[in-house]
Amino acid sequence: MDEELRSLTQRLRHEAGAAASYSYERLASTGDLDELADVLIAPEQRLWARELAAFRLGLAGDRRAFEALVLLLNHRDPQRCASAAHALARLGDPRTARAAAALATNELRVAYALHPVRLLVELRAPESVPALITTLARRFRPHDPYRRVAIACVDGLGALGDERARPVLNEALAHPPLAQAAASALKRLPAQRAPRE
């Protein structure tokens, strides 16, 4: 079993509780993707049921899970965000990177940007580097409280190894909480060519 699926099923089994154990076990074990997809559109479904259905559809590459997973990626509960990011990375929907970039760069939701940032790094999509640069540049404000988001951007830009990140990473060197990570990230960028004389 996928380790993230194991973690999610344990968490949601507890959330569902004994009263919903039959419904939970059915959703956790069914191989019928249509049954899972129906949960996403049926009225009055509990959040644990929608999350379990969306996650399993995402792992199966069924794009009917996309909207539900994007909503969960922007949830206030970090565990839901992490599970959604894991499923979205495996879904294979071309809209995923654009949605993750929109969430990562939405300054009104920056408190929940950590997992969209990490997803962008994993996707290595054309949207990834510009979104990480934008998000990181906004974290240079004095007393910015979103250090984990900033560090994730720095580490991600290093992992992506794109030369476009050099200016923002150089700027990050001037910010003590980011300096060590920025120095490491800069080492992972392609070596700069010496200018011709």
Q: Which of 116, 100, 157 is nearest to 133 (CA)?
A: 157
- Per-residue confidence (pLDDT) for residue 90, from 0 to 100: 95
Q: How many whole angstroms separate alpha carbon 21 and alpha carbon 8?
A: 15
Tell whether the model's pLDDT for residue 195 goes beyond 60.
no
Under 8 Å between Cβ of 31 and 59: no
Mean pLDDT of the residues in the chain: 93
- Give how far Cα 68 sits from Cα of 34, 55, 87, 96, 154, Å: 15, 9, 11, 12, 28
Question: Each residue of 88-115: pLDDT tens digit?
Answer: 999 999 999 999 999 999 999 999 999 9
Instruction: Give residue 40's pLDDT band: very low, low, confident or very high (50, 70, 90).
Output: very high
2 compared with 178, residue with greater pLDDT: 178
The pLDDT of 137-158, averaged and rounded, is 96
Q: Which helix (H) or strand (E) holds 131?
A: helix 128-137
- Per-residue confidence (pLDDT) for residue 4, from 0 to 100: 81
Tell whether the model's pLDDT for residue 22 goes beyond 90.
no
